[in-house]
Structure 1
Amino acid sequence: MGTKSDKALGQNIFIASSPDEESDFIPLISEDDEEVLDRSDVPELLPVLPLRNTVLFPGVVIPITVGREKSIRLIREYYKKNKIIGTIAQNDPDIDDPQTDDLFRIGTVAQIIKILEMPDETTSIIIQGKKRFQVDSFVSEEPYFVARTIPLSDVKPESKDREFEAIVGSLKDLSLRIIKLSSNIPPEASFAVKNIESSSFLINFICSNSDVDLKDKQQLLQESNLKTRGTRLLEHLSKEIQLLELKHDIQAKVKMDLDQQQREFMLHQQMKTIQDELGGSPADKE
């Protein structure tokens, strides 16, 4: 077995017009697209790709580096077939060769959009989440995991639910604020957040891209009630923005202190230059 991880390629967010573009991309899911995802079938038997340090949410597109031999075999076989696989996060990202007990029991059906053979000889894939599922049992572990599945559906709020609309609006506002405060998130992310039509996809998109602990993300995925998922995500974002604002305030104060010190140093140097030109300060004379 290889020791390389099957992991997400980081939080870089780009927008591309089609899956054929060789970049990380996030297509903006419309409400019609969401209905298609909701109606998609979950195969009774599904090959499972363990994810080491990420959680895939329905509708969301992510790039993954695939390093394990059994994982590479899985994606290559199914890319030639129907391109449909299951993804489940490991409960311990440090395990190089996970067994069935090392995987959570709820995951997401994924479509393999593209396989990329990288210049450093690693293999990467771009996948899109389709629908959540629960593992009923594992029927095979070699040459890769195969699970018997139970389809899971989201419980959506009533149309025109004002509380849900407020939750979604708050999630969007906080996300835009976090993007503005974070130096490691590119500005394209704001474009994505502002242009997402589907409330369900917005919640899943933010769940996927937020700086939330892996196990907390898994808990969000396991929550079937979309309104509750949104509320819990809002709690995580509120904590994240508090930390970012505190960090921003500290950095601003440090910069202000440094600027003050620099001004004092410059003033001192200017005074010294003037005194030197005038023949030195009176204190230097005998």
Structure 2
Amino acid sequence: MEKNEREAPLIWIPGGNREPETPPREEQEFSIPRELPLLPTRDVVAFPFMILPLFVGREASIKAVDEALSRDRLIFLVAQKRAEIEEPTPQDIHQVGTVGMIMRMLKLPDGRIKILVQGLAKGRIEEFTQIQPFYRIRISILEEPEIKETTLETEALVRSVREGLEKAVSLGKAIPPDLVVVVNNLEDPGKLADLVASNLGLKVEDAQQILETLNPMDRLKRVAQILYRE
């Protein structure tokens, strides 16, 4: 059985102050294929620019990972609508997910594999092009609107999220201790929203809603609401 057990996401922001031991592929222009193998996840939503350890155990999922590793190491990560479904159909899978690059893969004694995946870009499933032995899908890349200038509203919202995160840490929430340091040095609203959201241990429904919100300011507002709701 595969539960996508996970450790805390590693923090890596392009231009930030921390990278994993084996640095991910630097920000460089390369073409993301529009057709990719699909890895449905049960209890986690992957965000761009996050580095996520995942345990994979379902036969179809392992084959999807093998396919990605035999080509360009790219795979599409998307959450299931209901975690308890063992063999999800296309209708059981959300449409919006994240293109990820498999950085490492480790075979475990119990037959599962552990992978380390770096999120690259948001995408939407347009078509299932293969069903067996694993899902292959055609995607479109989702571009978010650019924020051309920093307004007082943006500054206030960024400050609110930083303060909310610091309060959550002071209350003993299970948040990586160095996250606050990274957040305090991050100005981009979209990346800030994704980074904080991916480290709050959110329910899949809440995290998926944030992932699907393309406007960076709207996304950051949702994260602020969740922080202060908690």
Same fold (TM over 0.5): yes
Counterpart of 1:220 (choices 186, 207, 210) is 210
1:141-188 Cα offsets, whole Å, 9 max, x none, are: 111111111221011323122212221221122112212212533423
Instruction: Quote how far apart the aligned CAs of 1:80 are.
Output: 3.0
Instruction: Quote how far apart the aligned CAs of 1:47 are.
Output: 1.0
What are the residue-to-residue correspondences of 1:168-179 with 2, within 5 Å? Answer: 168-179=158-169
TM-score, normalising length: structure 1? 0.71
Cα distance in 2 between the residues matched to 1:181 and 1:120: 38
Cα distance in 2 between the residues matched to 1:118 and 1:185: 27
Q: Where is the strand percentage greater, Structure 1 or Structure 2?
A: 2
Cα distance in 2 between the residues matched to 1:167 and 1:219: 19
Counterpart of 2:14 (choices 12, 18, 29) is 29
TM-score, normalising length: structure 2? 0.87
Cα distance in 2 between the residues matched to 1:41 and 1:199: 25
Matched, 1:98 2:95: no
Instruction: Quote how far apart the aligned CAs of 1:232 are.
Output: 1.1
Which residue of structure 1 lines up, in the alignment, with residue 73 of structure 2? 83
- For 2:158, give the aligned amino acid: V
Counterpart of 1:115 (choices 83, 105, 110) is 105
Cα distance in 1 between the residues matched to 2:33 and 2:227: 34
Which residue of structure 2 lines up, in the alignment, with residue 188 of structure 1? 178
Q: Where is the helix percentage greater, Structure 1 or Structure 2?
A: 1
- CA contact 2:5–2:55 (8 Å) conserved in 1: yes
- For 1:199, give the aligned amino acid: P
Percent of aligned pairs sharing the same letter: 28
What are the residue-to-residue correspondences of 1:128-207 with 2, within 5 Å? Answer: 128-182=118-172, 184-196=174-186, 198-207=188-197
Tell me, which stretches of 5 or more residues in structure 1 are unaligned? 14-24, 241-286
Cα distance in 2 between the residues matched to 1:197 and 1:115: 32
Which residue of structure 1 lines up, in the alignment, with residue 2 of structure 2? 4
Tell me, which stretches of 5 or more residues in structure 2 are unaligned? 17-23
* CA RMSD, Structure 1 to Structure 2 (Å): 2.3
Instruction: Quote how far apart the aligned CAs of 1:28 are.
Output: 3.1
- CA contact 1:42–1:149 (8 Å) conserved in 2: no
Cα distance in 2 between the residues matched to 1:166 and 1:224: 20
Instruction: Quote how far apart the aligned CAs of 1:64 are.
Output: 0.7
